[in-house]
Amino acid sequence: MKVVVAEYSGVCFGVRRALDLLEESVEKSTENGAKVVMLGPLIHNPRVVEGYSRKGVDVTDIENVPSIGVVVVRSHGVTQQVEDALYKNKDLKVVDTTCPYVKRIHQLVEKKSSQGVAIVVMGDESHSEVEGITSRIKGPYLVISPDLTHECVNRLKTFLKNHERIFVVAQTTSRPASYDKLIAKIKKIVPDRKKVDVSQTICTATLKRQDSARELSSRVDAMIVVGGKNSSNTSKLYQVVSSSNKKSFWVEKIEDFSHEDIAKLKNLSIVGITAGASTPDDQILEMKTFLESLS
């Protein structure tokens, strides 16, 4: 079996930066004895989070953050209210690993909404990144699901007709095709383009990973997507590859394969691997080595 890893896959700049900052905090804690905690899982990769748990780094929520020590804010960001609460405690060191791409959206929506512009956010309303974005909006806003159901479109029409100026952003891990579809729908409802301002907020790493995975999936017998089942960007990757290759698998670890899955894989000539932005290189290599051992 030949195993090919997508050209763009695995840990992105934002996640690598977050992991580096966390590791630096853990190293310093061994010297000064300060307790380090993560405010929510640093990244959506259970194996990475469990690894740091074994090092004594607990995952906590805002109600249980220690009064003294180090709190690491996750790469998806937090709400404005949570951020304000953290910085009120002068005895607590805050290490903010929020991805710069997410920070940019925070700044954009805060500025635009302060100018009286209504905001449309495409994304998962319950996702921590979207919660952080909407908490910084100073006026009316609407969160729209990427699937654009009939109910969503009706809500969108009502919202757009009730506001003179609109600013549109997307969750960083969104699929470009879904964002394009939303923008086209908005421009159809509001023909006057002067009233609608659209910002390209999908992460460039996300775009490269999806394009690379799509290309690879079209020329292999099967695709393996490696990443946390709670990871938004990994979910989007799986949607991309499974739409063009019916033999697609989404796993966090080797043990997730069933005996039937392995039997199917053994009979294939070429298998592709892609991985979410929260999947470290060692987990990709582990998967590649395992697949090669099947031949």
Domain layout of the chain by residue ranges: 2-11+204-293, 13-99, 101-198
CB distance 273 to 251 below 8 Å: no
Fold of 101-198: Cobalt-precorrin-4 Transmethylase; domain 1 (3.40.1010)
Tokens in use for 106?
A: 């925070």
**C-alpha span between 7 and 284 (Å, rounded):** 12
**C-alpha span between 88 and 78 (Å, rounded):** 15
pLDDT digits (tens, 9 = 90+) for 56-65: 999 999 999 9
Tokens in use for 52?
A: 């740091």
pLDDT the model gives residue 175: 87
**C-alpha span between 97 and 278 (Å, rounded):** 14
269-283 average pLDDT score: 95
Asked if 252 is an active-site residue, the reply is no
pLDDT the model gives residue 192: 86
CATH of 13-99, one of 3.40.920.10, 3.30.479.30, 3.40.50.12780, 3.40.50.11270: 3.40.50.11270
Indicate the SS3 state at residue 167: strand
Tell me which of 50, 83, 129, 164 is the catalytic residue. Answer: 129
Tokens in use for 31?
A: 């010297």
Indicate the SS3 state at residue 274: strand
- Any idea how long the chain is? 295
pLDDT digits (tens, 9 = 90+) for 199-243: 999 998 888 999 999 999 999 999 999 999 989 889 999 999 999
35-48 average pLDDT score: 93
Which strands, in side-by-side order, build the sheet including 196-198? 141-144, 118-122, 166-170, 196-198
